Amino acid sequence: MVTDPARACAALGPLLLDDRRARIDAAAASRLHGLRVMIENLHDPHNGAAVLRSAEAFGIQRVDVIDGSKPFRFSSTVTQGCEKWLDVVRHRTLAAAIATLRADGFVLYAAVPDASAVLEELDFARPAAVLVGNEHEGLSAQAIAAADVCFGIPMYGMTRSLNLSVAAALTIERAASLRRRALGAPGDLDAAAVLALRARFYAASVRGAAAVLARSGGGDGKLDFKMGGG
């Protein structure tokens, strides 16, 4: 039986320090479901971890990854556990990832060096996915062709490129800011989804959460995060 989120929050909330509970509540309320990051064929686990960490830090809930010829890997020493707050969805192929994003109603924005468009010119009032390529070749030609718009990061110095993790962090921060500005709100989840996410985050923060929930009569500790809003 899936635990009711409200009952889970009532049972687990008192076991958290006030500051921790307040931080979780604020993070859940600020989560963005209508902005995703799609990573294509990253090779370096440190870069993969850095992208996940940036996504979580700026309030993106879901990251779509394409395993390609090698499974997507990330360094746990870099993520420092941030992956437990994220939904990391793996796809076997680019086509499968694109089909999923399109079915969910997302417009696709591809990060491409020297592209003429910039993030500020793009529409983030609608659900949008930012596509990021690998360290050596960037996005594939197929990913670029599938995108609705390609964008670049303006550079004014003699340096013409950035490390992938730095470029991804800049892109994610700006896209998240633009999404929030377009919405006029810190997050885009509806009340039910925020409650479910709070319950999930509480459970991730309390040792033995499943046992606590079972004793409270609130189910078996299994939490189902049903997205809403965005």
pLDDT of 97 above 90: yes
| 169 and 97 both lie in a single domain | yes
Residue-averaged pLDDT of the chain: 88
**Looking at per-residue confidence, does 44 or 146 come out higher?**
146
State whether residue 61 is helix, strand or coil.
Answer: coil
When pLDDT is cut at 50, 70 and 90, the band that residue 180 belongs to is very high
In terms of domains, do 116 and 155 share one?
A: yes
Last residue of a domain, one of 161, 183, 205: 183
- Tell me if 59 sits within 8 A of 27, measured CB to CB: yes
Domains held by the chain: number: 2
- Higher-confidence residue: 216 or 40? 40
pLDDT tens column, 7-37: 999 999 999 999 999 999 999 999 999 999 9
The CATH number of the domain where 173 resides is what? 3.40.1280.10
47 and 153 both lie in a single domain: yes
196 & 145 share domain = no
pLDDT digits (tens, 9 = 90+) for 107-147: 999 999 889 999 999 999 999 999 998 877 789 999 999 99
Share of the chain above pLDDT 70, in %: 87
The H or E element containing residue 65 is strand 62-66
Q: Supply the range of the domain harboring residue 82.
A: 32-183
Q: Hunting for tokens 């939904």 — which residue is that? A: 87
Let me know whether 194 and 206 are in one domain. yes
Q: CA 55 to CA 86: how far, in whole Å?
A: 9
Does residue 62 sit in the same domain as residue 132?
yes
Query: Is residue 91 domain-shared with residue 148, that is, in the same domain?
Result: yes
Q: How far is CA 91 from CA 40, 64, 66, 127, in A?
A: 10, 7, 5, 20
Secondary structure (DSSP) of 119-167? GGGS--SS-EEEEE-BTTTBS-HHHHHH-SEEE-----SS-----HHHH
Average pLDDT for 196-221 = 84
Q: Are residues 121 and 173 in the same domain?
A: yes
The candidate with the shortest Cα–Cα distance to 147, out of 216, 94, 84, 224, is 94
In this predicted structure, what is the pLDDT of residue 70? 64
